[in-house]
Chain A
């Protein structure tokens, strides 16, 4: 058995190794290039007081979470009790980014709707949803057209960003936060950021 005739077998086994490892990977999860970069600045209307705006800078000096949500998002409902519980424990302030509340809803035809009407409907729907499911947010802001979402590289709802005192994104969780994620990943990271100052 000459060595060179074993080359195809060796290459094949290498390939199998990768394929086998690939089975444990999730090809749909895209890591964010924004990790350890300053969070993109934004100023958006507040859900509770639409006449006022909230700017990212207002959270400077705090470790906080930015949670992207919408009332039409089914997975958000699954995640919500976890956030409510987190808020109750007072570990970290959570800011909600209400993402495309009206035009993101596949069941609605928002074409031709004026921006004012859309904003009004968004406020009504979002507030109703928070009343029904509890409000874990220090405040929520309205990203009606999803532009801020694009700046944050949001590609699905829910997503959760962990932001440090200097306003840098330190971690991104894609999909609903489960109690397990919270306990074993998020809270340790939050504590670590809080200790480092």
Chain B
């Protein structure tokens, strides 16, 4: 299911993952070069790690479905530079996110904010889980009640039926199940 031409923006850009750093961080290009020792692209790896972490949470608006960390679209590069500039200036991560949301809306966040319209998104899995667990508990208890209220079966009969159902004598069980619908 992975195909077709116009939509490979991510893949087109991702391989050039590293290029932008060199292009856009002036210090990186002009660092002193010791002969024989490769120069890291970025002067401040700790800052860069933060930039990358935050960039992975931000959606590239012009791409199909990529974060600005993965994309090398011009806008993605610009936005990464904004992220770097602001983090370097000492702003907090939340401030940077707020800066981008003010301009591009919630759409830029891969982690949607919790608000009235996303209540179901964030609460949904928990609701489903509790709903499922509740249903399960209800079914199991009813089943246990029904099992308890089977007066017409003696213990011996029930054991025999259970053994049959469990396939203790598979040949017999197969024959019976293959020939008569049991419902």
Asked whether any CB of A lies within 8 Å of a CB of B in the complex, the reply is yes
Where the two chains meet, the residues of A that have a C-beta atom closer than 8 Å to any C-beta of B are 30-34, 100, 103-104, 106, 111, 145-146, 149-153, 155-156
Known: A104-B74, A111-B23, A146-B78. A152 touches B103 (CB 8 A): yes
* Centre residue among B61, B78, B106 by max chain A CB count within 10 A: B78
Flag whether B79 is at the interface (Cβ < 8 A). Answer: yes
**Pairwise interchain contact A33-B103, C-beta atoms closer than 8 A:** yes
Where the two chains meet, the residues of B that have a C-beta atom closer than 8 Å to any C-beta of A are 23, 61-62, 74-75, 78-79, 82, 101-107
Known: A100-B74, A150-B79, A155-B75. A31 touches B105 (CB 8 A): yes
Q: How far is B106's CA from A155's CA once the two chains are assembled, in angstroms?
A: 14
Q: How far is the CB of B142 from chain A (nearest CB, A)?
A: 13
A111: chain B residues within 8 A (beta carbon): 23
Q: How far is B74's CA from A146's CA once the two chains are assembled, in angstroms?
A: 10
**Pairwise interchain contact A150-B78, C-beta atoms closer than 8 A:** yes
Known: A33-B101, A33-B103, A150-B103. A155 touches B61 (CB 8 A): yes
A31: chain B residues within 8 A (beta carbon): 105
A and B contact pairs by CB, cutoff 8 A, 25 listed: A30-B104, A30-B105, A31-B105, A32-B104, A32-B105, A33-B101, A33-B104, A34-B102, A100-B74, A103-B74, A104-B74, A106-B74, A111-B23, A146-B74, A146-B78, A150-B79, A150-B103, A151-B103, A152-B103, A153-B103, A153-B104, A155-B61, A155-B75, A155-B104, A156-B61
Q: How far is B104's CA from A100's CA once the two chains are assembled, in angstroms?
A: 18
**Pairwise interchain contact A153-B105, C-beta atoms closer than 8 A:** yes
A30: chain B residues within 8 A (beta carbon): 61, 104-105, 107
| CB closest residue in chain B, given A37 | B102
Task: Give the 5 A-B CB pairs with smallest separation, nearest first.
Answer: A155-B61, A33-B105, A153-B103, A30-B107, A153-B104
Q: How far is the CB of B9 from chain A (nearest CB, A)?
A: 12
Q: How far is B75's CA from A145's CA once the two chains are assembled, in angstroms?
A: 11
Q: How far is the CB of B112 from chain A (nearest CB, A)?
A: 14
| CB closest residue in chain B, given A31 | B105
A33: chain B residues within 8 A (beta carbon): 101-106
B74: chain A residues within 8 A (beta carbon): 100, 103-104, 106, 146
User: B82's contact among A34, A150, A156, by CB below 8 Å, is which?
Assistant: A150
**Pairwise interchain contact A34-B23, C-beta atoms closer than 8 A:** no
Q: How far is the CB of A142 from chain B (nearest CB, A)?
A: 16
* Centre residue among A31, A111, A153 by max chain B CB count within 10 A: A153
Q: How far is B75's CA from A131's CA once the two chains are assembled, in angstroms?
A: 28
**Pairwise interchain contact A34-B61, C-beta atoms closer than 8 A:** no
Q: How far is B22's CA from A27's CA once the two chains are assembled, in angstroms?
A: 33
A103: chain B residues within 8 A (beta carbon): 74
Q: How far is the CB of B16 from chain A (nearest CB, A)?
A: 13
Q: How far is B61's CA from A153's CA once the two chains are assembled, in angstroms?
A: 10
B79: chain A residues within 8 A (beta carbon): 150
A153: chain B residues within 8 A (beta carbon): 103-105
Q: How far is the CB of B120 from chain A (nearest CB, A)?
A: 13
A100: chain B residues within 8 A (beta carbon): 74
Q: How far is B61's CA from A156's CA once the two chains are assembled, in angstroms?
A: 9
